[in-house]
């Protein structure tokens, strides 16, 4: 939801407004700004909660404090009750963040459950900027002489400021006086230590209480993310993770009397495994199902757009971004927000390489999962946010709820390891037995780019025209593709340091 720009110091109003205009796609419904002394805040709004009353910047009762937010505060109703409903003047979930900061100051950030970046000016005119613990919502900053700039996307910054642009760290807040301070961790410290090796536990030894706890925690996370005053749906790839989200969301929609069946959206080549599996899930659950059938021509046209939209050049991210981008473009015509299955593989060891050397030992697998979750903001979450927000569509990630993360990483890694009678993510599959067709519950893992068919059509020639020499009929390998994607990225973001902005180095020149 939305895009924000903030500046503190020597304010250049035309520059700030130009930066905000460059991310108008993130919030096509409304725009707002405020200038308080040496602070400027700008907001592009995607109206999801309280469309008529949630204009930003939100202003406090003192008339001086104000706030802009990109994201969702899922526990806003609980916070309203805690703080007193009489304090609130809108139905916007973002107002809960404003009221918490007014009551508790920066310490109140720990009370917010959701995905967010925010910029807050208190009654004295002091700026606070913060990003959620996992980095689900993006934020970049450029620290210049006399001024610090913040924006939701790299493209907001002027080329002259590109060398200074870097990712704002998740779980941190910043003030001009106090500097950068960590207020939350992506992974709770108490679940980080690797578990001591123990005898492997087979599926028949799992306690039903464990399965029930896993199921109820995930159900709660999905239901929290169904809040919306406008249309909401699910990206249904046909894989286990998005199918579980769909099953929970469809049950919630029925139980709460939604006027139409849950909208689901799938993408793939005509005979791709994901598209076929998604149809099975949609029919079983009775969803209002939509398909985007991707052709090689579609993929060719979308490839350069995908690189620019996700602001990244990683070959695997770009490949999966192509079908994501096409799906988001279509879905944005029907709903304003979607749920996705992002994060389940990272928490429940769904990737094949988690079960190969050197991660065969439980303590090594645990360390791998923790490290992967901590790094999601650099890659998968960036793709997830950008492909959807490119069309003013908000993506929500229930598997990355704080309670789900804490539970999943507290489960002994032995429970997640492949062994006799146990496929990858068997714990998750068994927890949702009866919720989905058996063929979906036991379907093997396919990366989105493979399952959707995007990998095949890309390999078949989608890199044609990306090289300096022009179109080529020669299939390109991963390294060559990434080099081509990097050239597109560099043209779009000249001067940006990929290490500071993306957490990775540029491809090596051969």
Q: What is the pLDDT of residues 290-306, one digit of tens each?
A: 999 998 888 888 989 99
49 three-class SS? coil
pLDDT tens digits, residue range 181-230? Answer: 999 999 987 775 544 444 445 555 568 899 999 999 999 999 999 999 98
Binned at pLDDT 50, 70 and 90, residue 56 comes out as very high
Q: Is the pLDDT of residue 444 over 50?
A: yes
Q: How confident is the model at residue 322 (pLDDT cuts 50, 70, 90)?
A: very high
448 band by pLDDT with thresholds 50, 70 and 90: low
C-beta of residue 311 within 8 angstroms of C-beta of residue 295:
no
Rounded Cα distance between 476 and 482, Å, is 10
pLDDT at residue number 470 = 46
Least confident span in 77-86, 274-283, 428-437, 454-463: 454-463
Centre a 10 Å sphere on the Cβ of residue 363 and count the other Cβ atoms it contains.
14
Residue 139 near residue 174 (C-beta atoms within 8 A):
no
Q: What pLDDT, in 10s, does the model give residues 217-243? A: 999 999 999 999 988 999 999 899 999
Copy the structure tokens of residue 447.
């990366």
Tokens of 463: 């890199």
Distance between CA atoms of residues 459 and 457, nearest Å: 5
| Position 401 pLDDT exceeds 60 | yes
Percent of the chain clearing pLDDT 70 (strictly above)? 89
- CATH code of the region 3-182: 3.60.20.10
How many Cβ atoms are within 10 Å of 472's Cβ, its own excluded?
14
* Active-site annotation holder among 2, 16, 173, 384: 2
| Candidate from 136-150, 195-209, 251-265 with smallest mean pLDDT | 195-209
pLDDT at residue 353 greater than cutoff 70: yes
Task: Specify the pLDDT at position 360.
Answer: 76
Token pair of 193, please? 């230590």
Q: Say what angle helices 362-374 and 402-410 make with each other, to 10 degrees.
A: 160
Q: Find where tokens 């659950």 sit.
A: 285
Neighbours of 348 (CB within 10 A): 26
| 323-348 pLDDT per residue, tens | 999 999 999 999 999 999 999 999 99
Residue 452: pLDDT band (50, 70, 90) is low
Q: Please provide the DSSP assignment of 154-186 as one string.
A: GGGS-GGGGGGEEEPPTTEEEETTTEEEE---S
Cis status, amide bond into 474, omega within 30 of 0: no
pLDDT at residue 93 tops 90:
yes
To the nearest 10°, report the CA torsion of 442, 443, 447, 448. Answer: -120
Query: Which region among 73-77, 233-237, 352-356 has the lowest average model confidence (pLDDT)?
Result: 352-356
87-98: average pLDDT: 95
Name the architecture of domain 189-502.
3-Layer(aba) Sandwich (3.40)
Cα separation, 399 vs 299, in Å, equals 29
Rounded Cα distance, 216 and 53, in Å: 34
207 marked as binding residue: no
Confidence band of 476 (pLDDT split at 50, 70, 90): low
38 annotated to bind ligand? no
d(CA 456, CA 406): 37
Query: What ranges do the domains of the chain cover?
Result: 3-182, 189-502
Give the mean model confidence (pLDDT) for residues 124-133: 97
pLDDT number for residue 491: 96
Average pLDDT score over residue span 285-290: 98
Instruction: Establish whether 2 is a catalytic residue.
Output: yes
The pLDDT of residue 443 is 85
pTM across the whole model = 0.93
Average per-residue pLDDT for the chain: 90
Give the up-direction half-sphere exposure of residue 359: CA atoms within 13 A in the CB hemisphere: 20
Residues 6+ apart with CB under 8 A from 216: none
Fold agreement (3-182, 189-502): no
Cβ contact 98:105 at 8 Å: no
């Amino acid at each position: 939801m939305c895009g924000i720009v903030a500046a503190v110091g020597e304010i250049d109003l035309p520059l700030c407004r130009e930066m905000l205009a460059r991310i108008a796609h993130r919030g096509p419904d409304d725009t707002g700004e405020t200038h308080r002394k040496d602070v400027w805040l700008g907001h592009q709004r995607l109206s999801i909660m309280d469309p008529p009353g949630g204009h930003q910047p939100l202003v406090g009762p003192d008339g001086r404090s104000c706030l802009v937010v990109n994201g969702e505060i899922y526990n806003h109703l609980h916070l309203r009750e805690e703080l007193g409903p009489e304090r609130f003047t809108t139905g916007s979930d973002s107002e809960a963040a404003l009221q918490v900061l007014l009551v508790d100051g920066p310490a109140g950030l720990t009370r917010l459950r959701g995905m967010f970046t925010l910029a807050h000016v208190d009654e004295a005119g002091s700026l606070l900027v913060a990003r959620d613990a996992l980095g689900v919502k993006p934020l970049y900053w450029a620290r210049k002489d006399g001024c610090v700039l913040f924006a939701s996307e790299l493209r907001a910054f002027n080329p002259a400021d590109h060398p200074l642009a870097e990712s704002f760290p998740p779980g941190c807040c910043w003030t001009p006086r106090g500097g950068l301070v960590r207020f939350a961790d992506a992974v709770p410290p108490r679940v980080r230590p690797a578990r001591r090796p123990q005898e492997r536990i087979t599926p028949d030894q799992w306690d039903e209480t464990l399965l029930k706890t896993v199921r109820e925690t995930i159900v709660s996370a999905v239901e929290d993310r169904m809040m919306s005053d406008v249309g909401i749906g699910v990206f249904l790839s046909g894989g286990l993770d998005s199918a579980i989200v769909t099953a929970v969301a469809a049950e919630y929609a029925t139980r709460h009397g939604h006027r139409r069946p849950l909208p689901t959206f799938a993408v793939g080549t005509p005979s791709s495994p994901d598209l076929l599996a998604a149809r099975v899930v949609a029919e079983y659950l009775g969803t209002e199902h939509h398909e985007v059938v991707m052709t090689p021509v579609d993929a060719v046209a979308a490839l350069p757009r995908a690189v620019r939209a996700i602001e990244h050049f990683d070959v695997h991210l770009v490949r999966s971004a192509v079908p994501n981008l096409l799906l988001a473009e279509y879905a944005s015509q029907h709903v304003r927000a979607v749920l996705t299955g992002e994060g389940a593989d990272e928490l429940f060891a769904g990737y094949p390489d988690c079960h190969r050397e050197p991660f065969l030992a439980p303590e090594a697998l645990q360390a791998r999962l923790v490290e992967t979750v901590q790094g999601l903001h650099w890659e998968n979450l960036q793709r997830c946010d950008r492909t959807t927000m490119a069309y003013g569509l908000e993506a929500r990630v229930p598997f990355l709820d704080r309670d789900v993360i804490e539970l999943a990483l507290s489960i002994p890694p032995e429970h997640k390891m492949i062994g006799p009678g146990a496929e990858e993510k068997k714990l998750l599959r068994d927890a949702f037995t009866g919720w989905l067709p058996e063929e979906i519950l036991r379907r093997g893992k396919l990366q989105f780019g493979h399952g959707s068919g995007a990998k095949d059509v890309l390999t078949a020639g989608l890199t044609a025209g990306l090289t300096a020499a022009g179109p080529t009929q020669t299939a390109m390998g991963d390294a060559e593709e990434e080099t081509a994607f990097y050239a597109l990225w560099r043209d779009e973001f000249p001067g940006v340091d990929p290490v500071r902005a993306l957490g990775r180095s540029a491809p090596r020149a051969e």
